[in-house]
Amino acid sequence: MMKTMNDLFGRIKEAETIAIGGHIRPDGDCVGSCVALYLYLKKNYPDKKVSVYLDHVPQEFMFLTGTDAVISAKGVETCFDLFISLDCGDLSRLGDAQALFEQAKDTVNLDHHITNEMFAGTNLVEAQRSSTSELLYEYLEPEKIDKDIAAALYTGIIFDTGIFRHSNTSRRTMEIAGHLMEYGIEHWKIIDESFDQKTYIQNQILGRCLLESILVLNGTLIVSCVTQKTLDFYEATPDDLDGVVDQLRTTKGVEAALLIYETGVQEYKVSMRSNGVVDVSKIGAFFGGGGHKKAAGCTMHGSFYDVINNLTEHIEEQLLNKE
């Protein structure tokens, strides 16, 4: 069920210099899809000059072959023939690579966010897909994939599906994961080392977030806040908060979970998860962010209380309208 050649690879064939980039604060799907496409092009199109840009690679994905090629776009001024944006819903989320995207002669936007703003020359967006890695696989020729490429795509899929547990997991997702296993990847090891394992610090922060969480809206919403001071105390970075909001969401009785952490003076990153009734992508988009129905995010300003109040209002409204 390979996609037609003219959409992604039609663009690639016409380009000599290609840049690949994904969203800021990259997650498993973002790193996985970017590295998979980078390796695939290096292997099968050796004459093309390919660069891959991300603001950083979280430690747990560094085991993937190809992550050592990832560089920062800060200060880079190259004019590429083609820029391929992966797993990124809007242009500003490309961070430093946004300038490279804007200068590029041709652009592709391959993504699965429902809030995608269709900002490229060619937009290959399928919101029903579990992950960008799953969608990217559909464009690749199976015989040109190798073990390293398969490992990167598999990592992307397991991250965005919570190891095939979220409702975005389809029969096709499982089929693709099955195909990827045939390249000899150590799938159990990928899951254990990049998804399950937590550093001591990460577990401590998780514990602290659970301990300090509050229930509002009659127990239907759970909220936890992390100050910069707390992050500093544990010598933690925002990457160390990965998975915390997902754990909050598992609290019995809640419809939605919020993790709010300080990123600057009166500036906060909000991570939202829903069990299905609340569409958090709408709330994310309202506050200038985006995402999916059950997982979304945005950046907000004010005090913790302003942020909680503003978000709670939207969640309550949706809950009342659904009754």
Which parts of this chain interact with ligand AMP (CB under 6 A)?
23, 89, 93, 113, 245, 271, 284, 289-292, 295-299
Distance between the two ends of the chain, CA-based, in angstroms? 41
CB of 127 to ligand AMP, least distance (A): 11
**Which stretch in 21-29, 93-101, 116-124, 145-153 sits in contact with Mn ion by CB under 5 A?**
21-29
Q: From the list 9, 20, 27, 119, which residue makes contact with Mn ion (rule: CB under 5 A)?
A: 27
Tell me which of Mn ion, ligand AMP, none is bound by residue 240, counting a contact when its beta carbon lies within the kind-specific cut-off of 5 to 8 angstroms.
Answer: none
Interface of this chain with Mn ion, residues 104 to 133, rule: CB under 5 A? 131-132
271 binds, among ligand AMP, Mn ion, none (CB under 5 to 8 A by kind): ligand AMP
DSSP string, 108-168: EEEE--TT----SSEEEE-TTSS-HHHHHHHHS-GGG--HHHHHHHHHHHHHHHTTTTSTT
Burial state string for 119-156 with b = 16 or more CB within 10 A and e = fewer than 16: bbebbbbeeebbbbbbbbbbbbeeeebeebbbbbbbbb
Nearest CB to ligand AMP, comparing residues 11 and 292: 292
Residue 160 touching Mn ion (CB under 5 A): yes
Q: In the complex with Mn ion, which residue's Cβ is closer, 11 or 23?
A: 23
216 - beta bridge partners?
221
107: helix, strand or coil: strand
Site for Mn ion in 38-77 (CB under 5 A): none
Q: Which is nearer to Mn ion, 22 or 66 (CB)?
A: 22
Which residue, 36 or 241, is less far from ligand AMP as judged by CB?
241
Q: Find which of Mn ion, ligand AMP, none residue 297 binds, CB within 5 to 8 Å per kind.
A: ligand AMP
Handedness of CA 198, 241, 137, 274 (dihedral sign): positive
Is the CB of 50 or the CB of 289 nearer to ligand AMP?
Answer: 289
Cα 122 from Cα 27, distance rounded (Å): 24
State phi, psi for 165 to the nearest 5 degrees: -105, -25
CB distance 295 to 288 below 8 Å: no
Residue closest to ligand AMP (Cβ) = 297
- Residue closer to ligand AMP, measured from CB, 208 or 293: 293
Which residues are at the interface with Mn ion (CB under 5 A)?
27, 29-30, 87, 131-132, 160
